[in-house]
Structure 1
Amino acid sequence: MAAARWKSAAVALTAAVLAISVVSPSFARDRKGFRQQESGQVQDSFEFYVLSLSWSPSYCEAEGSGANRQQCDGGRPYAFVVHGLWPQFERGYPSRCATDRPKVSGRTLQSVLDIMPSPGLIRHEWQQHGTCSGLLQDDYFGLVRTAWMKVAIPAEYDRLDGYRMVAPDDVENAFLRANPGLSADDMAVTCDRRYLREIRICMSKDLKFRSCPAVARQSCRLPKAVMPPVRGG
């Protein structure tokens, strides 16, 4: 009788452990305490997107010999380009979700090179972020283009013919003026130690501007940053 009770308890314990392993979310914590999905897990229950627009001349100068040659030495006058469209949690983000299509087709690469001017960047963004969107590959890159078209680039940043020292707040205000409905709580202007690097704009899943305090706190704290001139053209 005691052996039977012991066996029954062992079976129940095993079932409980298995149940916990099935329903427990597969999140790791990064060093800032943000939730980051473990590599290879499926995730499409994120809260919003971040559209990241990179000032291409800053990327080219900051990365130097490590920069993508097609983007930086190809002769086309790239100004702001799409870095990525990133699924986000309120704090943290999913990454490298499971997919049966890890490679990006040549046709898809060609379809977005005008706004993401590096095949390597396109491949990376799909594997790192796009796979967590819950979208098919072509639908994801179609959404990237739609998000890009939702944002008006201020006329003064269509092209720069010379180096300019800019206050990040001035760049932010230019984007706010050019995009009715966008607020300071919906975006961040980022920099490194010298260059203005990116505009990050938060969007709902249907691509409406929305607030994102954790992203907005990433804004550049330099009084002024360098915007190098547009190359080529």
Structure 2
Amino acid sequence: MSLRACAALLLVLAAIGGAKAQENGSGRNVPGQFDFYVLSLSWSPSYCATRDKPDGLQCGGPRPYAFVVHGLWPQYERGYPDSCARPAPRLRPDQVRGMLDLMPSPGLVTHEWAKHGTCSGLSATAYFDLVRAARARVVIPQSYVDPTDYRMVSAAEVETAFQMANPGLASDMIAVDCDRTRLREVRVCLTKDLAFRACPQVNAASCPAGRRLAVPPLR
């Protein structure tokens, strides 16, 4: 066997070994070692509708919210890392405050950093800068910017609206999350450079395309 063929074989074996290591749980939860990101956008009125009473900035403050950032999650092709540093480096108060326009809950900001941000391999400042850039990468369809009427849509209609607002976003790059009655989240898959990319496992967990979902208005 030639040296070039041997080198090619070693690369294939290394790739197979890496995949098996992920499947077996070894080599997981290593900061910076993942395949892509999921930007999860939460429909805030649905979240607030599940609260027994108004609470905090998101559901009890003066500003009504539409889609907010739930998180930017490092992902494997199958599964995802989490809590890659125990304990997580503590966030400064200004870092938390600086994200409240996108993630209107201090508890959510600190939770997402500890569970997902620590797996990015980035500092807290760089991670939150990336969260902001990822949010700017995705255009929210106009009908979801400031709705004042209660309406019903299908999961497929939500997906189509996002595709129309975001050229290059294919149906296998997005997932619509719901409970039994309401739209909860839209999840968009992104490369580490924030380009849209396919994500079969994430997409497969989407709501049934024809399911009718309530979209509560802003309040």
Same fold (TM over 0.5): yes
Check conservation: 2:42, 2:67, Cα contact below 8 A.
yes
Larger-gyration structure (1/2) = 1
Deviation string 1:165-196 (CA, Å, 9 cap, x unpaired) is 11111111010000001000001011001110
Q: Map 1:148-227 onto structure 2 (within 5 A).
A: 148-221=135-208, 223-227=211-215
Q: Matches of 2:63 and 2:26 in 1, distance apart?
A: 36
State the shift of 1:226 in Å: 0.6
Partner of 2:114: 127
1:50 to 17, 38, 48: 38
1:37/1:93 contact within 8 Å kept = no
Cα distance change of structure 1 residues 121 and 37 upon mapping to structure 2, 3 Å threshold: farther
Q: 2:65 aligns with which of 68, 75, 78?
A: 78
Between Structure 1 and Structure 2, how many residues are aligned? 200
State the shift of 1:42 in Å: 3.4
Q: In the superposition, relative to structure 1, how do residues 143 and 68 fare at CA in structure 2: closer, same or farther (>3 Å)?
A: farther
8 A Cα contact 1:68 1:118, kept in partner: no
Alignment partners' CA distance in 2, 1:191 and 1:61: 13
Q: Is it true that 1:111 corresponds to 2:98 in the alignment?
A: yes
Unaligned 5+ runs, structure 2: 1-19
Contact 1:37 1:94 in 2 (8 A): no
User: d(CA) in 2 for partners of 1:107 and 1:188?
Assistant: 32
The 3 A distance-change label for structure 1 pair 211 and 68 is farther
Partner of 1:17: none
- Structure 2 CA distance for partners of 1:214 and 1:74, relative to 1, 3 Å: same
Shift of 1:100: 7.0
Secondary structure of the residue aligned to 2:98 is helix
TM-score (norm 2): 0.85
The answer on whether the counterparts of 2:152 and 2:213 sit within 8 Å (CA) in structure 1 is yes
What letter is aligned with 1:146? A
Q: Percent identity?
A: 52
TM-score normalised to structure 1 length: 0.80
In 2 relative to 1, CA 141–66 (structure 1 residues): closer, same or farther, beyond 3 Å? farther
* Change over 3 Å in CA distance of 1:134–1:153 after alignment to 2: same
User: SS where residue 121 of structure 2 aligns?
Assistant: coil
CA RMSD of aligned residues (A): 2.2
**What letter corresponds to residue 181 of structure 1 in structure 2?**
G
Distance change >3 Å, CA 172–CA 189, structure 1 → 2: same
Pair 1:76–1:69, CA change in 2 (3 A): same
Unaligned stretches of 5+ residues in structure 1: 1-24, 30-34
| Distance in 2, Cα, partners of 1:103 & 1:26 | 30
Q: Give CA deviations for 1:145-164 in whole Å, capped at 9, x if unaligned.
A: 00000000000110111211
